Structures are given as structure tokens and as C-alpha cells.
Amino acid sequence: MTLNRALAPESVEIKAFKITRAISTQLTNKVPLHYLKLGNQNLIKMDIIFDAGNYSESKKGQSFFTSKMLSEGTLQLSQKEIADKFAFYGAQIEFFSGVDKITIAITVLEKHIYSLFYLLNQIICESVFPEKNFLRVKDIYYQQLKINNEKTSFVAGGIFKQSIFGPNHPYGYFITEEDLANLNLKDCQSFYKSYIKDNAFEIIISGNSNDDLLKEIDKQFGHKKHKISSLQTSNKDIRIEQNSNEISINKEESVQSSLRIGKRMFTRKHPDYFKFTVLNEVLGGYFGSRLMKTIREEKGLTYSIYSQIATHIHEGYFVIGADVKKELLTEAVEEIFAQIEILKNELIPIEELETVKSYMIGTYLGSVNTAFALADKFKIVHYNELNYSYYDNYITNIKKITANDLQQLAQKYFDVSSFVKVFVG
């Protein structure tokens, strides 16, 4: 049968879709273990996750530099020996420091992961933080920081979050050259001992796992007692200090200006979160959004503009971002506010709303087609204290959102006078 490429394939309405769930259990020592058994390739990803992000710091930069130092040497192995052993087994290991967590992520063939458990245990329990390595890591970051501080987009993003949450809030600060100078090796060693070494963590396994692997994980990680971190992030009370609603930083040498406009919002648990994601998509969440059509395509004021709702475990924020020529900044801001007013005063046409809904459903379905992606979906509901009904009802909830719903949300949250406005350039 010859395929007629002049005819579009038949479309099928998707009414519901249930994703594969992670199975949660515990190791012998009560360490939580979550795993997904699926995938056609013998590839495994193992995430070891600690409550050790910015939210746990007593000094700026502790979490980030502690994560960087974990592979810089142990009691038995040097940094080079560690790197060589992971390379020998074709393993990729990464260390992520976020505002809430530190994650050690390793991806490797299932048959080789057994040979790497002792390395992971050494990194967790026996890291030694050589001083010369620490100074090298700091110097590399310092050089990159100098480069980034010349970028208007980098500075605008940092100032925006600082303006919303305050310079001392873990979601609001960014590491400065002064912070870097004030951070010493003992600060990171102390953080490591308080939040990583011998401390509680969680394990997430995704890929073509099996019962033998799970038993070996329990054997390697399930018999050592782990203390609870000295500071539980969920109980930490940090005051939010919003700065001025408008900040302009002039960089005479720059030919462009970066803008960040938005406000503090809510987490995924908020009753308005789901509907707001659709409103955001209409405004600036995808290539066919209103901001892209008017400001990029019709007026040619920027190459790219976006809006997004960003969520962490404890807080969230909404932001509009773009880079424009200096002389076009005022016009771009006026047009952004004009589009916001339209959303507040006019109902979104049915055809436009249906296009956005179809795009979001299609994007969602495309984001749950691998074991690793499903593990990421699990992390979202697990760490935000949600459950799988969030995904089970995803398509249904999107379809039932109306233009009236979105207009009411725009009127509720898009008070321009409440927005923080940051302009750098």
C-alpha cells in the first residue's frame, strides 16, 4: 500500500491517559526507594537525592560548591581516579545543586551499575574536599561569573528573583563575587557533614531495572544508619522581603536591554495553578503565543519573548522575559502590558483556546515516553506533595477550562501595578 503524503493522517481525540507509576518502598534502613521498571534498553539511571539545596544553607554558595566537590577526591581515590573509573564503565555522573535539593545522578548500562556502588558510597561518605581542588573549582566559577555578569539577561534574571524574594532568601539570591570571596573550604566541609555524609537521602531508579538490582541496592545502601539532616527544609521559615517594584540598571556598553516582568505566585498545590498554566501558555508559553505573535512577528521588537510560571517546593513566581534593542524597550513594555489588558478585558476566542489546549496535551504526551522522563514526572508529584491524579486528570482538566475561567484569572493576578519590573542594559 502506497502512502499518500498529500493526505493528513486521521486525528483521534485523546480523552484520558494514565502514565506508568513509580513504585515506592524502603530499604532495610528506611531509606526511601522509588523505581520504574520499563524500557527496552538495558540502561539505568540512579538518582540519589538529599535535602541539601540553597534552602539548607547558612552561607551563600555552600550547597553549590559542596556538590561540585563531591567528586574531587575521597579517602581512597583522587579526582582523576574517580573520573577514570566512571569513564571505564561508560557511566555518566552528574551533580546537581538546586534551591531545594542536591542530586547525584548516574546513567550507565545495568550490567555495570553494580561495579559502581562502592564508588557512590565513597563519594557520599568519604569525600575529603582537597583544598587545591576547592580553589580550582572556585576560580573556574569566578571566571564564568565575570563573563555572565557582562550578559544583561543573566543580571536581569538574578535581580528579578532577588527583587521578588529578597537578597537573603534561598530562592532570591545569586552568588556574587563578594559571596565567593567569603566562602571558604570549612564552610563546604561543614555543609557536607551536616547534609550529605551519613545523612538521609532518597533513591530513584528508572530504566530496565530488575529484582536483582533492587536487592543489590538494599545490600549496598540499606544497612547503614543515616541521621536526619539537622535542618529539615520543610520546617524552615524564611522571611520574604520584596524590594522596589521597578529597577533599572544601565550598561552603556550594551546594545540591548533585557527585561524581566512578573511577580511572586504560588506552588503546584495552589487551586489556581493548573488553570494558570493554560493562561500563561496563551500569553507567552509557546511559539504561537500572543507575545510571540505581536512583539516578535508583527512588530519585530525582539527575536524571542516568553512567559512562564516557575515553581519550587516552597514558592513560585511568574515572569515575562525578553531581550530587545535599547531604543525599543519602552515600546516592548507597552505592548506587553497591552496584551495583558486584552486578556483581562476580552474573552479568548474558542479557536485560539482549542489550539493552545491541543498543543499542551500533545506536549504532555510527548514528555512521558521514556523511563527517565517518567521519573522526572514522579519527582514533580512526590516533592510537591501531590499524587498521580495530577497526571491522570491532566487532559480532562485542560479540556474543561473555559475562556471565562482564564479571563477571571487574568483579572485576579495580572494587576500590572503589582508586577516587579527589571530592566538591564
pLDDT tens digits for 49-61?
Answer: 999 999 899 999 9
pTM attached to this predicted model: 0.89
- Residue 81 φ/ψ, nearest 5 degrees: -65, -40
Contact 124, 197 (CB under 8 A): yes
41, 212 contact by CB (below 8 A) = no
**What topology does CATH give the domain 23-235?**
Cytochrome Bc1 Complex; Chain A, domain 1 (3.30.830)
Residue 20 backbone dihedrals phi, psi, to 5 degrees = -65, 130
Cα(126)–Cα(119) distance, rounded to whole angstroms? Answer: 10
Per-residue pLDDT tens over the stretch 357-383: 999 999 999 999 899 999 999 999 999
Confidence of residue 231 (pLDDT cuts 50, 70, 90): very low
Is the distance from CB of 204 to CB of 371 less than 8 angstroms? Answer: no
Average pLDDT over residues 242-269: 88
pLDDT tens profile 9-24: 666 677 667 889 999 9
| Residue 233, pLDDT score | 43
In the chain, CATH 3.30.830.10 covers 23-235, 246-424
* Residue 419: Cβ within 10 Å count: 19
Q: Is residue 173 exposed (0-12), middle (13-18) or buried (19+ Cβ within 10 Å)?
A: buried
Tell me whether residue 364 is exposed, middle or buried, using C-beta atoms within 10 angstroms of its C-beta: 0 to 12, 13 to 18, 19 or more. Answer: middle
Q: Which CATH class is domain 246-424?
A: alpha beta
